[in-house]
Amino acid sequence: MPQDTNTQLRHLVRYFGHGTFSPEIIDRAEGNSVFTEDGRELLDFTSGQMSAILGHAHPEIVATVRDQVSRLDHLYSGMLSRPVLDLAGRLAETLPASLSKTMLLTTGAEVNEAAVRMAKLVTGRYEIVSFARSWHGMTQAAANATYSAGRSGYGPPAPGNFALPVPDRFRPDLVDANGNLDWRRQLDLGFDLIDAQSAGSLAACLVEPILSSGGIIDLPPGYLAALRDKCHERGMLLILDEAQTGLCRTGDWYAFERDGVVPDILTLSKTLGAGLPLAAMVTSEEIEREAHDRGFLFLTTHANDPLPAAVGNTVLDVLARDRLELRARELGERMRNGLHELAGRHPAIGDIRGRGLLIGLELVNEQGAGGGDDTDKLGAAVTRRCAELGLHMNIVQLPGMGGTFRIAPPLTASDAEIDRGVAILDNALTDVTH
């Protein structure tokens, strides 16, 4: 007999801030669903932790893990294995020629930490710029570049971290004559303020092409190129965090492809391991050589481990063979069409945004305004009702942002599963708002 959840919780550290664990115990996962101990099925519209792009228990990943764990699972960090060498080479083949050097780690926070550390060493500077609603991880440098949560109560952050305003087109803070976001003026102002505060030691800018925890904010076309120019004018490196956007989720292999902007350093995680702990920092031969000449040091217990690297190779196999970037576009269009149809019947839906199968849906109150306590409560109520009806959804866990859903089903979802999820959301909105 399973123990009562509250009894089991007495042994767990709570790590969600003021959030809570889900009330049910998950027993297993298969395909695009998770199943509770009492047999309930929940359609997984978060891909686990926004990671399981091939769904759960994908047979080819299961076979890879079984074979590799019996052959070679973990090594001393200075040793190399065939899966690691293969994955580094294959990642380079999917990327622009300048991104050719890879370091394999385990989490997004780790690779962001490594990227910032490398940028500081190579430039000889220490100041880091990121968005005001950013999330890059909870280790030291990654947490210092994270502004969406977790800054209060932990002592002083490292000096030299600056926030850029977020180019949010749904809730713009600077507008043009037509009332639309004036992102060029906003970006100019942001860097004017950074320049005024800088001690002359700007090293890098670390951003997501689509802010996820910040509310699925897709950077306006042209923004990323302008940001790159701002960085290079100041001798800064551009680091793109594609933990959630990389590897086909947005309809391209990498989100930066839409803008034709190649970063100086790229970080991948979540989607690379399709749910297993695998991450990569990728940079140019020039930057890697300079870092090496200066004695770049970043050792972790599981750097370049063969087991997750083997899984990464299988993930690349499936993505390429099944053309899942095209499937993400098709499913994303199908879902957005369904959500727009819901918006015509539910005034609580204020905005639908995103690319491919990374979609944001923002709720508004009766006055049509978002981002307040009332929409936080509405989002929490809709989330609970979706779970009761068999759909797991993820709401942004930030004060004033709790009315924004991050919708990211596996790329292996079927048309019927997409339609079923939209129908459940429809029912949940009806139940909560009527």
- Which CATH number characterizes residue 327's domain? 3.90.1150.10
Sequence-ordered list of residues with C-beta below 8 angstroms from that of 302, at least 6 positions apart, any chain: 74, 105, 106, 277, 308
Q: Is residue 298 part of a domain?
A: yes
Q: Is residue 419 part of a domain?
A: yes
* Same domain, yes or no: 77 and 49: no
Q: Render each residue's pLDDT in the chain as its tens digit; 434 residues.
A: 345 556 678 889 988 887 788 889 999 999 999 999 999 999 999 999 999 999 999 999 999 999 999 999 999 999 999 999 999 999 999 999 999 999 999 999 999 999 999 999 999 999 999 999 999 999 999 999 999 988 989 999 889 999 999 999 999 999 999 999 999 999 999 999 999 999 999 999 999 999 999 999 999 999 999 999 999 999 999 999 999 999 999 999 999 999 999 999 999 999 999 999 999 999 999 999 999 999 999 999 999 999 999 999 999 999 999 999 999 999 999 999 999 999 999 999 999 999 999 999 999 988 777 777 889 899 999 999 999 999 999 988 776 677 899 999 999 999 999 999 999 999 999 999 98
* Same domain, yes or no: 277 and 131: yes
Q: Is residue 251 part of a domain?
A: yes
* Same domain, yes or no: 295 and 336: no
Contact of 244 with 263, CB cutoff 8 Å = no
Q: Is residue 79 part of a domain?
A: yes
* Same domain, yes or no: 47 and 91: no
Give the predicted TM-score (pTM) of the model. Answer: 0.96
Domain with 111 in it: what CATH number?
A: 3.40.640.10
Tell me which residue range forms the domain holding 174.
Answer: 72-321
* Same domain, yes or no: 222 and 352: no
* Same domain, yes or no: 292 and 314: yes
Instruction: State residue 5's pLDDT score.
Output: 58
Q: Is residue 67 part of a domain?
A: no
* Same domain, yes or no: 167 and 299: yes
Last residue of one domain, picked from the residues 278, 300, 321: 321
Instruction: State residue 4's pLDDT score.
Output: 56
Q: Is residue 66 part of a domain?
A: no
* Same domain, yes or no: 111 and 200: yes
Instruction: State residue 413's pLDDT score.
Output: 98
Catalytic residues: 135, 208, 241, 244, 270, 406
Last residue of one domain, picked from the residues 279, 304, 321: 321
* Same domain, yes or no: 254 and 341: no
* Same domain, yes or no: 89 and 188: yes
* Same domain, yes or no: 314 and 331: no
* Same domain, yes or no: 285 and 327: no
Last residue of one domain, picked from the residues 266, 294, 321: 321
Instruction: State residue 434's pLDDT score.
Output: 85
Q: Is residue 87 part of a domain?
A: yes
Number of structural domains (the chain) is: 2
Q: Is residue 124 part of a domain?
A: yes
Contact of 203 with 236, CB cutoff 8 Å = yes
